[in-house]
Structure 1
């Protein structure tokens, strides 16, 4: 498992680096969230929570004057990638019960961190709106992915999840 590190713990130079870094840190919340769900035998997918997140980021996007449909798609991808990591953890623990977590953190603490990261991501989307809508976006996104994956030392699962979570940024 990859432990989440605080957002902005690394110096990243590109225009989309802070956004992609926040997305990576948000993805890393999948491990503690999956641990709680494993312990409580909870469902990985939580439609009520997804709706709550999407409503909040839509409102934040509107307040920042950016397209809420675009922001919703970004967060749908982010949530799907996070769920994929959680499913992967469940599979690991099912195949090797001894590796399953025995102590967990409070789910509300993870959700508070996720909510803060969501706001940080919306702020970065607004700040980098011109780059995200420009022909230079794919290059900037590729550079950001490379920088964040290296700086965070993401494993293969997290690299794949981050690439999926960000695949709509330039559309």
Structure 2
């Protein structure tokens, strides 16, 4: 996903349309979870653009605290380990911030490639919230697998499938590895 120029908004819109239609195939047991994590990472593009234009901070501790608190509450309601869920979502947030920092660095080094318009941050946050719900539902559905010795190979296969189908570049593959590093607890 190499969107870094002024076409950022159009690229994000295309990625969003593809995200609703494309599924990583073949669908392994963890593919839907990993695919939702990858789609959530892709929202870093318009978020970074918005923060760049508005001179906003990449890190937003108050929003992170709210997101993790909500994830913990939903995990408790689902009867699963809230600490595990908070670790998973903390990794996802760290990976997203890493992409944003990378974009900021690129735009600082090549200002001509920087975005010239700020995408609607509330739309990006709504998309993130939707991906969070999908991810939590997948964690609940795949709880036993995520806590079994079979998780590692299933996770590797899912990451490879998603990276191929979504055509993730090196940055996004690294971010996906960070975002999913706490999935397997078996």
Is residue 2:163 matched to residue 1:149?
yes
Alignment of 1:39-58 (within 5 A): 39-58=53-72
Question: Is residue 74–residue 165 contact of structure 1 (8 Å, CA) maintained in 2?
Answer: yes
Question: Is residue 7–residue 21 contact of structure 1 (8 Å, CA) maintained in 2?
Answer: no
| CA positional deviation for 1:104 | 2.3
Alignment of 1:20-169 (within 5 A): 20-169=34-183
Number of positions where the alignment pairs a residue of Structure 1 with one of Structure 2: 171
Partner of 1:9: 22
Question: Is residue 7–residue 22 contact of structure 1 (8 Å, CA) maintained in 2?
Answer: no
Q: Distance in 2 between matches of 1:11 and 1:167?
A: 19
| SS at 1:169 equivalent | coil
TM-score by length of 2: 0.89
In 2 relative to 1, CA 14–134 (structure 1 residues): closer, same or farther, beyond 3 Å? same
Comparing 72-81 with 9-18, greater Cα deviation is found at 9-18
Partner of 2:8: none
Q: Distance in 2 between matches of 1:105 and 1:94?
A: 19
Q: Distance in 2 between matches of 1:126 and 1:104?
A: 35
Question: Is residue 60–residue 119 contact of structure 1 (8 Å, CA) maintained in 2?
Answer: no
Structure 1's unaligned 5+ residue stretches are none
RMSD: 1.1
